[in-house]
Amino acid sequence: MRLLLLGGTGEARALAARLHDEVEVISSLAGRVPDPALPVGRVRIGGYGGAAGLRDWLTDNAVDAVVDATHPFAATITAHATAACRASQVPHLVLARPAWAPGRAVVVGSDVEAARVVAERGHRRVFLTTGRSGTAAFAGVDAWFLIRAVTAPDPDTLPADCELLLSRGPYHVDGERDLLQRYGIDVLVTKNSGGAMTHAKLDAAADLGVAVVMVERPPLPDGVEVVATVDEAVSWVRAREVSAS
């Protein structure tokens, strides 16, 4: 059985490690991170040319099933994978880690709306953790920003008054609490990425009474099959393997 595994997430790496002795796993990474954490086994880096290109790639490479374990905000590749798998009649699963409970956070629908909330509420010291693509919306906000990302954003997208912190999780509550206190942060801006790797910032913000603005994740395409854990994804792949044999 040949499985295409989409994603550069921790869940994708864990799934590749679980399955690489059982099926042929091709892990696919977008290539936007210059030094990604690589999974075990075969890795493909780069795009496909949209849904049609991915459909052709699935056919040309005789792929038996696709698991999409991309980041919850990677909506474009998820939409393309859904369309490509339906067109080529390849079984398709989305592994989507559970979202965080927003608690007392202000929930918004986009980076632009998050920037508006920060400005309207007069926040002055912002911990921005929405990733390298999320900084442009805040460029015109009159505040100081601590921006944490795995890869440096384009300098043209950065707010005028900011400090850049390049870092990759996991993070721990004590360290996050220290960071918020050291920089005098009064609001945390985050995407609802879910998972345990970066949840500590929410715990630290709650401990210190720091406000939270949370960008809700985009909806999944209608009709996709979804599981929440690596164990469930392993079971799904094994069931497809039995069917294929």
169 — pLDDT class (breaks 50, 70, 90): confident
37 — pLDDT class (breaks 50, 70, 90): confident
pLDDT value for 38: 86
106-215 has the same fold as 2-97+218-244: yes
32 — pLDDT class (breaks 50, 70, 90): confident
Query: What are the sequence ranges of the domains in the chain?
Result: 2-97+218-244, 106-215
Burial class (CB in 10 A: 0-12, 13-18, 19+), 41: middle
Q: What six digits make up the tokens of 9?
A: 């997430």
Rg (CA), the chain: 19
Burial class (CB in 10 A: 0-12, 13-18, 19+), 8: buried
Find out whether 177 and 206 touch, Cβ atoms under 8 Å. no
Check pLDDT > 60 for residue 191. Answer: yes
pLDDT value for 229: 96
From CA 97, how far away is CA 200, in angstroms rounded? Answer: 16
Q: What is the DSSP string of 11-48?
A: HHHHHHHHHTTTSEEEEEE-S-SSSPPPPSSEEEES--
Check pLDDT > 70 for residue 243. Answer: no
Considering Cα of 142, then 146, then 150, then 152, what sign does the dihedral take? positive
Tell me the sheet residues that pair with 145. 126, 162
Is 3.40.50.800 the CATH number for 106-215? no
CATH assignment of 2-97+218-244, among 3.10.20.30, 3.40.50.720, 3.40.640.10, 3.30.1360.70: 3.40.50.720
pTM of the model as a whole: 0.89
